[in-house]
Amino acid sequence: MDQSLKNYDAYRGEYFFRERGNLVGAGQCGGKAKGIAYAHGALSGSPLENRVSFPDLTIVLSTEIFSDYIARGGLSDLYGEEDWERVQRRIDETPLPPSIVAELENILDRFDNIGAPPLAIRSSSLMEDSTTLAFAGKYQTCFSPNCGPKQHRLSVLEAGVRTVFASLFNPSARAYREKHGKNHRDEAIAVIIQSLSGQNHGSFYYPELAGTLFSRVFRRPNPRIKKEDGLMRLCFGMGTRSVDRCAARIFYLTNPSLLSAGNLPEQIEEASQENFDYIDRDSCEFATGSLAKFTRFLQKEHRNFGAYVQYYADNILYSTLGEPEGPSRPLFSFPELHLRERGLFGLSKELLRHMEEVSGIPVDIEFAYETSPERSFRLLQLRPLAAYEEMSRVELPEAPEEKIIFKGDRMVSNGMLEDIRYLVYVNAEAYKNHWDPSAAALAIGDLNKKLEGTGYILAGPGRWGSRNPALGVPVLYAQICNCGCLVEISVPELNFSPELSYGTHFFLDMDSDGTLYLPVFSRQKKNKINEGWLAGTPYKTGDHPAVRLYEGNFSVYLDGELESGIIMAAE
């Protein structure tokens, strides 16, 4: 084994890309590109080498390109600019130097030589994907359908590169660096331009399955799941839904039939994917399709359709062989995937074990998988799994029921907070009745700034940070980065439900920040929302009528062994 692989922190990926003629500029390749290079080295000569492939072509614009663009464009003041809209305008108005545009034109020619696939344009910053900080989702990824006249494709590629450059200055990235004591000027971005893994299905291009693998399970739904067992978060189509706060299927690799959200049909329905992402080559755009609309098309295109989909009607789940006669909804619940594609699960376990053994650290892997015409596993990204310190077991104290504000019994890790002065709560009905999700997010962001250093508790309906505001308040990292405990509350009558799936960028942020998490399911046993306390205790209203600020003395106790957690008001 190459001795340089033994120390991930010290490993340099530039040589790998330069040797293949795939590095533009004399700078560094950044953390994400380093992970790709490292994965190539770790698999070379191993028993897994012929079972795991990579994207057909990956080219990196080094950090020198970014630094030169900032310097030549007179944009150095953007490091201290907090007006995000102004940052975007400045970069929109500053074209890339002609020499770099010429490089991008040459890069397009190289992709044309392999069939002109759609392209992923991804960040690879100096601080990204380190062993201590993930920067998960902080920087931008863009997609180019890479179709139409060459000049148009070049324009789209150039715009994508500038969008990735601009993302270094976005509010969430700035807040993340500040929270972890990093200087903005010490950061720089390389850009990965990569062929998008997938296949053509008519005019649609997408991978059949995509997801993320984690060698450690830090939030476990059941004591049978061990930390080292490994986990897969999977979606149909492009992998955007496996890392965003969208519905995706979680498989615990040693217990793939275990469902984190529960076994009841309504629980499975709440947690299941219903839309998928793809590239539309006819309209030349990134698109989202509804499973309900594309059911017949996907049935014809995918021999494993029955392993992916179930129909939901009248609180019953039906297989694709027994579709109900009345109205029903198809769901990507993947009921038989672990039975039909055992090789995928076996390979995932071997790959995670191998990468941990080589690197000596827990890892996180992004992948795409095709079941036909032959089975194919492509590794898209390797990175260290974000640092996570789990406290020793916490025992819940005896507490009067009237003092318990929230109580939950799923996905509870060990952790404790005491003497917390503030609780911020979003009322679900007021959020829906005064429909202005952006204003609600801004109101929370304002309180987040004012409460810096307090480790406050933040509770609200559904999924924090969801890109669909009907599922939860669409906050950004910068708007909640100072909270010490996050609570997600189910409100079934308003279609709000927590998103229990570990593995999104959102959860990786919480882990690296040490933020505690408690999901609460109303009207379910061992769960509680103290409506009397919330209504009867004085509070201040934020800049949105749904946002309340309670001041008092609050404590959080989470016992991962007994799968029980409470948040209470102390004397």
Tell me if 283 is assigned to some domain. Answer: yes
Residue 6 has pLDDT above 70, yes or no: yes
Tell me if 247 is assigned to some domain. Answer: yes
In the sheet with 363-370, reading across from the earlier edge strand, the strands are 249-252, 231-236, 209-214, 363-370, 376-384
> Do 223 and 178 sit in the same domain of this protein?
no
> Do 130 and 221 sit in the same domain of this protein?
no
> Do 187 and 243 sit in the same domain of this protein?
no
Give the pLDDT mean for 296-305.
Answer: 95
CA-based nearest residue to 516, from 560, 467, 570, 562: 560
**What span, in angstroms and rounded, lies between the C-alpha atoms of 369 and 372?**
9
Residue 391 has pLDDT above 60, yes or no: no
**What span, in angstroms and rounded, lies between the C-alpha atoms of 540 and 450?**
14
List, in sequence order, every residue forming a beta bridge with 369; answer none if it has no partner.
Answer: 209, 377
Higher pLDDT, 343 or 325: 343
Element (H, E) at 53: none
Examine the fold and report which residue of 196, 223, 254 is the final residue of a domain before the chain moves on: 196
pLDDT value for 471 = 86
In this structure, which amino acid lies at residue 513?
A: D
> Do 147 and 212 sit in the same domain of this protein?
no
Lowest mean pLDDT among 179-183, 219-223, 291-295, 374-378: 219-223
The chain-wide mean pLDDT, for the chain, equals 91
- From first CA to last CA, the distance across the chain in angstroms is 60
Range 52-81 burial, b when 16+ CB lie within 10 A, else e: bebbebbbbbbbbbbebbbeebebeebbee
pLDDT value for 388 = 58
pLDDT value for 49 = 96
CATH number at residue 125: 3.30.1490.20
Tell me if 357 is assigned to some domain. Answer: no
> Do 33 and 136 sit in the same domain of this protein?
yes
> Do 290 and 216 sit in the same domain of this protein?
yes
Residue 523 has pLDDT above 90, yes or no: no
Give the pLDDT mean for 394-414.
Answer: 87
Examine the fold and report which residue of 196, 214, 246 is the final residue of a domain before the chain moves on: 196
Do 543 and 446 touch, CB atoms closer than 8 A?
yes
Note the pLDDT tens digit of each residue in 248-289: 888 999 999 988 777 888 888 888 889 999 999 999 999 999
Tell me if 360 is assigned to some domain. Answer: no
Q: To 5 degrees, how large is the angle CA 314–CA 316–CA 319? A: 125
* Domain with 418 in it: 401-569
Contacts of 535 (CB under 8 A, 6+ apart): none
Give the pLDDT mean for 306-312.
Answer: 95
pLDDT value for 3 = 59
CA-based nearest residue to 197, from 2, 423, 367: 367
pLDDT value for 467 = 80
pLDDT value for 503 = 56
Do 124 and 31 touch, CB atoms closer than 8 A?
yes
pLDDT value for 415 = 87
pLDDT value for 389 = 58
> Do 103 and 188 sit in the same domain of this protein?
yes
Tell me if 539 is assigned to some domain. Answer: yes
Contacts of 473 (CB under 8 A, 6+ apart): 426, 431, 437, 440, 441, 444, 460, 461, 462, 464, 465, 466
**What span, in angstroms and rounded, lies between the C-alpha atoms of 558 and 556?**
7
Tell me if 369 is assigned to some domain. Answer: no
> Do 259 and 300 sit in the same domain of this protein?
yes
Confidence of residue 395 (pLDDT cuts 50, 70, 90): confident
Residue 203 has pLDDT above 70, yes or no: yes
Give the pLDDT mean for 357-361.
Answer: 93
Tell me if 476 is assigned to some domain. Answer: yes
Examine the fold and report which residue of 150, 171, 196 is the final residue of a domain before the chain moves on: 196
Residue 369 has pLDDT above 70, yes or no: yes
Total structural domains within the chain: 3
Note the pLDDT tens digit of each residue in 216-257: 887 666 667 888 899 999 999 998 876 665 678 889 999 999
> Do 108 and 153 sit in the same domain of this protein?
yes
Residue 392 has pLDDT above 70, yes or no: no
Q: What percent of the chain has pLDDT over 70?
A: 95
Higher pLDDT, 565 or 503: 565
Give the pLDDT mean for 137-152.
Answer: 92
Q: Within 13 A of 241's CA, how many CA atoms are on the CB side?
A: 28
**What span, in angstroms and rounded, lies between the C-alpha atoms of 385 and 74?**
36
> Do 426 and 537 sit in the same domain of this protein?
yes
> Do 192 and 226 sit in the same domain of this protein?
no
Taken as a whole, the chain contains a residue count of 571
**What span, in angstroms and rounded, lies between the C-alpha atoms of 366 and 233?**
10
Per 3-state DSSP, what percentage of the chain is helix, strand, and coil (rounded to 5)?
35, 25, 40
User: What pTM was computed for the model?
Assistant: 0.88
**What span, in angstroms and rounded, lies between the C-alpha atoms of 469 and 441?**
10
> Do 188 and 219 sit in the same domain of this protein?
no
